[in-house]
C-alpha cells in the first residue's frame, strides 16, 4: 500500500469543508445523508464539526460487489432515511469515481422534493467521471488509483484505516 492522504491531511480537509458548509447553511436546518457504507467515517467526522441544527440519515447505494474493482448495476435502499421533502439536503459519499453512484442517488432524492440538494465527497478522482456532474463540495482530488481507508474498502476490508492508501495491483 502507498499512502495517498495522511490522517492529518484528512482531518484538515474535513475541517475546511465543515467551515464551507457552516457558512452556506448557518441558520437553516439541514439534513445530512450519508451513503452507506463508505461515507460513515467521513459523515461522523464532518457532522461533529457542524455547529447548527441538523438531522442525519443513511441511504445505501451499491455498485461494487466483493472483490470487483469495476462498478456494476446501482441498487439503492432508503429505509434508514428521514423525510426530506421541503428540507435542505446534503448528500455525502466517500468518493466520486465514475460518478454513477452519486448521480443515481441525486436522481432518486430529487424525486422526494427536497428544498435544495447538494453533494459532498471526501475524494474526487481525476479522469474517471462518466456523468455530467461534479460534486458541490469535495475535500481532495486524487489521481486515478484504487484507494482504501477512511471508510473506503476493497472486499469489505481496510475501512478502519485512519488514512487513505492506494492498493498495488498485486493486492487487488
Active site (annotated) includes residue 94: no
Q: 87, 31, 28: which is closest to 58 by C-alpha?
A: 31
3-state SS, one letter per residue, for the chain: CEEEECHHHHHHHHHHHHHHHHHHHCCCCEEEEEEECCCHHHHHHHHCCCCCCEEEEEEEEECCCCCCCCCCCCEEECCCCCCCCCCEEEEEEEEECCCHHHHHHHHHHHCCCCCEEEEEEEEEECCCCCCCCCCCEEEEEECCCCEEECCECECCECCCCCCEEECCHHHC
CB 46 within 8 A of CB 32: yes
Q: One of 78, 93, 97, 136 is an active-site residue; which one? A: 97
Catalytic positions are 97
Amino acid at each position: 500500500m502507498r499512502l495517498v492522504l495522511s490522517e492529518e491531511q484528512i482531518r484538515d480537509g474535513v475541517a475546511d469543508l465543515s467551515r464551507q458548509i457552516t457558512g452556506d447553511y448557518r441558520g437553516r436546518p439541514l439534513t445530512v445523508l450519508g451513503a452507506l457504507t463508505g461515507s460513515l467515517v467521513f459523515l461522523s467526522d464532518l457532522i461533529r464539526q457542524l455547529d447548527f441544527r441538523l438531522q442525519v440519515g443513511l441511504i445505501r447505494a451499491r455498485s461494487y460487489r466483493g472483490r470487483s474493482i469495476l462498478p456494476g448495476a446501482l441498487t439503492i435502499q432508503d429505509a434508514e432515511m428521514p423525510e426530506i421533502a421541503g428540507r435542505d439536503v446534503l448528500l455525502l459519499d466517500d468518493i466520486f469515481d465514475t460518478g454513477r453512484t452519486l448521480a443515481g442517488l441525486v436522481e432518486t432524492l430529487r424525486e422526494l422534493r427536497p428544498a435544495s440538494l447538494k453533494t459532498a465527497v471526501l475524494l474526487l478522482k481525476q479522469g474517471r467521471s462518466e456523468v455530467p456532474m461534479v460534486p458541490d463540495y469535495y475535500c481532495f482530488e486524487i489521481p486515478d488509483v484504487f484507494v482504501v481507508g477512511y471508510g473506503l474498502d476493497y472486499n469489505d476490508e481496510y475501512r478502519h484505516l485512519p488514512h487513505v492508501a492506494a492498493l498495488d495491483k498485486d493486492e487487488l
